Chain A
Amino acid sequence: MGNEEAVFYSRVLTELTLSFHIIYATIGVGVPLMIMIAQWVGIRKNDEHYILLARRWARGFVITVAVGVVTGTAIGMQLSLLWPNFMELAGNVIALPLFLETFAFFFEAIFLGIYLYTWDRFENQKKHLLLLIPVAIGASASAVFITIVNAFMNAPQGFDVLNGELVNINPLLAMFNPAMPTKVAHVVVTAYMTAAFVLAAIAAFRLLKGSNHIYHKKALFLTMKVGLVFSIAAAIIGDFSGKYLAEYQPEKLAAAEWHFETEENAPLILYGVLDNGEVKYAIKIPFALSILAHFNPTAEVIGLDQFPEDEIPPLYIHYLFDIMVTIGVWMTLLSLVYWLGVQMRWKMVQSKLFRWLIVLGGPLSILAIEAGWWLAEVGRQPWILRGLMRVEDAATTSGHVDTMLILFSGLYLVLGVGSIVVLTRMFRRNPVEQELEDRHATKGADIS
Chain B
Amino acid sequence: MTLEIIGVTVLWTFLFGYLIVASIDFGAGFFNAYSLLTGRQHILTNVIQRYLSPVWEVTNVFLVFFFVGIIGFFPKTAFYYGTTLLVPASIAIILLAIRGSYYAFETYGSRGHKGYSFMYGLAGLFIPAALSIVLTISEGGFIEMVDGSPSLDYYALFTSPLTWAIVVLSLSAVLYISAVFLTWYANRAGDLEATNLMRKYALIWALPTIITAAGIMVELRTHNQAHYNNMMDIWWAFGLSFLLYLGTVWLLVKRRSYGLSFGLLVGQFFVAFFAYGFAHRPYLLYPYLTIYDSFTNEAMAIALIIAFIAGLALLIPSLYLLLRLFLFNKDYVRGKKDNHA
Contact = CB atoms under 8 A, between A and B. Distances in A.
A110 B61 CA distance: 10
A84 B304 CA distance: 20
10 contacts: A59-B108, A66-B103, A67-B104, A92-B296, A95-B75, A96-B300, A98-B72, A106-B65, A114-B54, A171-B303
Contact of B90 (A113, A397, A404, A415): A404
Interface residues on A, range: 35 or more
Interface stretch (B79-87, B158-166, B219-227, B230-238): B79-87
Contacts of B79: 84-85, 88
B68 A102 contact: yes
Interface of A: 55, 58-59, 62-63, 65-67, 69-74, 76-78, 80-85, 87-93, 95-96, 98-103, 105-107, 109-121, 134, 166, 169-172, 396-398, 400-401, 403-404, 407-408, 411, 415, 418-419, 421-422, 425-426
B86 A396 contact: yes
Given A95-B68, A411-B94, 5 more contacts: A62-B107, A80-B71, A109-B60, A411-B97, A422-B108
Chain B contact residues, majority secondary structure: helix
Task: Specify which of B83, B91, B103, B322 lies most central, judged by the most chain A CB atoms within 10 Å of its CB.
Answer: B83
Given A58-B341, A73-B93, A113-B58, A67 B101 contact: yes
Interface in B289-308: 296-297, 299-300, 303-304, 307-308
Contacts of A90: 71, 75
A111 B54 CA distance: 10
B109 A112 contact: no
Interface residues of B, number: 67
Contacts of A63: 104-105, 108
Contacts of A87: 71, 75, 78, 82
Contacts of A112: 57
A319 to B, nearest CB: 32
Given A99-B68, A103-B311, A422-B105, A117 B299 contact: no
A69 B57 contact: yes
A110 B68 contact: no
Given A103-B314, A113-B326, A398 B58 contact: no
Contacts of A84: 78-79, 82-83
Contacts of A65: 57, 104
B311 A119 contact: no
Contacts of A102: 61, 64-65, 68-69, 311
B307 A103 contact: yes
A427 to B, nearest CB: 10
Contacts of B93: 70, 73-74, 77-78
Given A65-B104, A99-B69, A113 B57 contact: yes
A89 B79 CA distance: 10
Contacts of A397: 83, 149, 151
Interface string B162-173: 000000000000
A120 B71 contact: no
A147 B284 CA distance: 30
A66 B86 contact: no
B244 to A, nearest CB: 29
Given A80-B82, A99-B307, A400 B87 contact: yes
Report the 9 A-B pairs with minimum CB-CB distance, sorted nearest first.
A91-B75, A95-B72, A66-B104, A84-B82, A422-B109, A103-B311, A87-B78, A70-B97, A109-B57
B6 to A, nearest CB: 14
A96 B101 contact: no
A63 B76 CA distance: 36
B315 interface: yes
B341 A80 contact: no
B89 A81 contact: yes
B108 A426 contact: yes
B234 to A, nearest CB: 31
B197 interface: no
B55 interface: yes
Given A398-B84, A422-B104, A77 B75 contact: no
Task: Specify which of B69, B86, B104, B303 lies most central, judged by the most chain A CB atoms within 10 Å of its CB.
Answer: B86
Contacts of B325: 114, 117-118
A219 B149 CA distance: 56
Contacts of B61: 102, 105-106, 109
B67 interface: yes
Nearest to A84: B82
Contact of A111 (B105, B318, B332): B318
Nearest to B338: A117
B254 interface: no
Given A76-B67, A92-B75, A118 B297 contact: no
